[in-house]
Structure 1
Amino acid sequence: MKKRIGSFLFFALGGAFVFAQEAPASGPTAWQFNAHANFYFIPDDFFILPVFQADKNKLHLEARYNYEDRETFSAWIGYNFQGGNKLEYTITPMLGGVVGRSDGMAPGLEVTLNFKGFELYSEGEVYLDFQTEENHYLYNWSDLTYSPKDWLWFGISAQRTRVYQTALDIQRGVLIGAGLKNWELTTYVYNLGFEDPFVLVSISKQF
């Protein structure tokens, strides 16, 4: 199973790299990449959730690991709808395949709305397990932030996931982040005042 996941990841990311080499370095048709590393510091547990995204015009490609389940890889293809004036939006419906500890498929949606320094970001999916309907699950990660400066933002966050367990079905928290050039660092603190508080540190780079 690990060999199958590794081969899938190699060809998915390798294909994106080949396309990137063929694309011009600048201009409206160039590839844009975004790599994330999400570090979960949970009581008596720790894991990393990496995400890689590639966009070219309307095309959106994405790869995730440890998202739907531990030791599980998912690959996605989607279509970007972008526009707006005062209210800017990016809406990306997607379809993904999931292999690893969990095997299935998932329709998904990513939404980003920007208005006068406020941003709502939400990513959701309905995981459909190939083995049993009892494993079907609705995932969601949503952040609402305000940026007083281009390099600084803070806000609230909510997650619904199965990769870790707490007493709450929906993890709720606060966040603060900062950026420098193409790098971003965001720290989340979830479930303050409840039984299972934990910290998430997210590092991302655009290139």
Structure 2
Amino acid sequence: MTAGPRAFGALGAFMAAAALAGDREGCCDAAPAAPAAPSWEFTATAYPTIVRGGGDYTSAVVVAQRAALHLEARVNYESVGARSAFIGWTFGGGEEITWELTPLIGGAWGTTKALVPGLEASVGWRRFDLYVEAEYVRPREESSRYLYAWSELGYRPVEWLRFGLAAQRTHAYGAERDILRGPFAQLSWRRITLGGFWFNPGSKEQVFVASIGAAF
């Protein structure tokens, strides 16, 4: 064989090897990366409460969420001086109408000692949303058991403003009315949300609940 054919043969072998190496490298590069583990998200909200003709106090709620896992702790929620903790699982979906549902199970101690099953649910459509939060407080004394509920019907004309109507069923204030109703408004800036809920406006059983929340 002359030098020319041998040179072309060597060049062809080199190009074939380079192409095979490139194919192997591209195959390895195309392998999908392992999905990142879901991160924790936290929110903490304080609720200073002013009761007309009654005792003022502040309750607080801290939530830790990781994917569908929902953990929650509350202070002065079931009653003043009570502590409670919950674990739950969040389900959700929808496109035009979105929804989210979180069943909870937990317990309270302190001034209220009870098993407390609960539920948090929300539905959203365009700029409107409905939020419902409920729990059944089950102490050993059957006469002390009660259903607590909080609901909000909100409208968000812009991203930083939400307002609407709120209602709650509670025995916490010792008033004659079990169900309280009134307007509310919330302002959001980055991770901070400030709000106010005015129940029974104009009556002798007025209750004002402020909210100061942060997400991190």
* Residue among 124, 135, 148 paired with 2:144: 135
Structure 1 segments, 4+ long, off by >6 Å, are: none
Residue in structure 2 matched with residue 63 of structure 1 by the alignment: 73
Question: Would you say how many aligned residue pairs link Structure 1 and Structure 2?
Answer: 180
Residue in structure 1 matched with residue 83 of structure 2 by the alignment: 73
Structure 2 residues without counterparts, runs of 5 or longer: 1-35
Q: How far apart are the structure 2 equivalents of 1:120 and 1:149?
A: 17
* Residue among 152, 161, 172 paired with 2:161: 152
1:28 deviation in Å? 6.6
1:90 deviation in Å? 1.1
Match of 2:138, SS? strand
Q: TM-score, normalised by structure 2?
A: 0.81
* Residue among 181, 191, 197 paired with 1:182: 191
Conserved in 2, the CA contact under 8 Å of 1:66 and 1:163?
no
- Listed one character per residue, the Cα deviations across residues 28-65 of structure 1 (whole Å, up to 9, x for unaligned) are 70111110000101124210010000110110000011
Matches within 5 A, 1:6-155: 29-43=38-52, 44-130=54-140, 132-155=141-164
Residue in structure 2 matched with residue 198 of structure 1 by the alignment: 207
Conserved in 1, the CA contact under 8 Å of 2:171 and 2:178?
no
Residue in structure 2 matched with residue 22 of structure 1 by the alignment: none
Match of 2:77, SS? coil
Q: How far apart are the structure 1 equivalents of 2:44 and 2:68?
A: 19
Provide the alpha-carbon RMSD of the alignment: 1.2
Percent pairwise identity: 36
Conserved in 1, the CA contact under 8 Å of 2:150 and 2:168?
yes
Conserved in 2, the CA contact under 8 Å of 1:76 and 1:97?
yes
- What residue identity is the alignment partner of 1:54? A
Matches within 5 A, 1:163-178: 163-178=172-187
Asked which structure has the greater CA Rg, the reply is: 2
Q: How far apart are the structure 2 equivalents of 1:114 and 1:183?
A: 21
Match of 1:53, SS? strand
- What residue identity is the alignment partner of 2:171? R
- Listed one character per residue, the Cα deviations across residues 142-195 of structure 1 (whole Å, up to 9, x for unaligned) are 011000001001100001122212221101110011100000011111101332
Conserved in 2, the CA contact under 8 Å of 1:167 and 1:195?
no
Q: Which moved more, 1:63-72 or 1:158-167?
A: 158-167
Q: 1:156 to 1:28 in 2, by over 3 A?
A: farther
